[in-house]
Amino acid sequence: MTERIHNSDQITGSVGDARHHDSALKHVTGQARYVDDIAVPNGTLHLAVGGCNTTAGNIISINLDAVRNAPGVVAVMTADDIIGTNDVSPLHLGDDPILADKQVRFHGEAVFAVLAQSYRAARAAARLGHIETTQTTPVLTVDEAVAAGAELSERQEMARGDWRAALAAAPQRAEGTLRIGGQDHFYLEGQVSLALPMEDGDVHIHCSTQHPTEVQIAVARVLGRAANAVTVEVRRMGGAFGGKETQAAQWAALAALGAVQTGRPVKCRLDRDDDMILTGKRHDFRADWQVGFDNDGRILGVDVNFASRCGCSRDLSDSINDRAMFHFDNAYFFETVHISSARLRTNTVSNTAFRGFGGPQGTLAGERVIEAVARACGRDPLSVRKLNFYNEDDNRDVTPFHMKVEDFCLHELVSELETNSHYWARREAITAHNAANPMVIRGLALTPVKYGISFTNTALNQAGALIHIYKDGSVHLNHGGTEMGQGLLMKVAQIVAEELQIDIDRIQITSTHTGKVPNTSPTAASAGSDLNGMAARNAANTIKRRLIAFAQDAYGVSDDAVTFLPGRVRIGEHTLTFDELVMQAHLARVQLSATGFYRTPKIHYDRKAGRGRPFYYFAYGAAVAEVAIDTLTGENRVLAVDILHDVGRSLNPAIDLGQIEGGFVQGMGWLTTEELWWDETGQLKTHAPSTYKIPTSRDRPEHFNVQIWAAGYNREGTIHRSKAVGEPPLVLATCVHQAISDGLASLIDYQRVPPLDAPATPEAVLNAIDDLRGAA
Closest listed residue to residue 197, CA positions, set 38, 40, 35: 40
pLDDT in tens, 506-551: 999 999 999 999 999 999 999 999 999 999 999 999 999 999 999 9
To the question of pTM greater than 0.95 for the whole model, the response is yes
69: exposed, middle or buried (Cβ count in 10 Å: 0-12, 13-18, 19+): exposed
- Residues 469 and 129: their CA atoms lie apart, in Å, by 55
The SS3 of residue 314 is coil
- Residues 503 and 495: their CA atoms lie apart, in Å, by 11
Rg (Cα) of the chain, in Å, rounded? Answer: 27
Backbone angles phi, psi at 467, to 5 degrees: -130, 130
659: exposed, middle or buried (Cβ count in 10 Å: 0-12, 13-18, 19+): buried
- Residues 113 and 98: their CA atoms lie apart, in Å, by 10
pLDDT in tens, 557-597: 999 999 999 999 999 999 999 999 999 999 999 999 999 99
With a cut of 70, list the residues of the chain below it in pLDDT.
1-8, 776
Query: What is the set of active-site residues?
Result: 727
Closest listed residue to residue 437, CA positions, set 625, 627, 630: 630
pLDDT of residue 478: 98
- Whether 714 contacts 648, CB under 8 Å: yes
Q: Which helix (H) or strand (E) holds 732?
A: helix 728-732
Q: Which helix (H) or strand (E) holds 444?
A: strand 440-453
pLDDT of residue 5: 41
- Residues 93 and 86: their CA atoms lie apart, in Å, by 9
- Residues 650 and 639: their CA atoms lie apart, in Å, by 28
- Residues 64 and 114: their CA atoms lie apart, in Å, by 10
DSSP letter at 327 equals T
Backbone angles phi, psi at 398, to 5 degrees: -120, 130
- Whether 161 contacts 337, CB under 8 Å: yes
77: exposed, middle or buried (Cβ count in 10 Å: 0-12, 13-18, 19+): buried
DSSP assignment of 450-511: EEEES-SSGGG-EEEEEEEE-TTS-EEEEES---SSS-HHHHHHHHHHHHHT--GGGEEE--
DSSP letter at 246 equals S
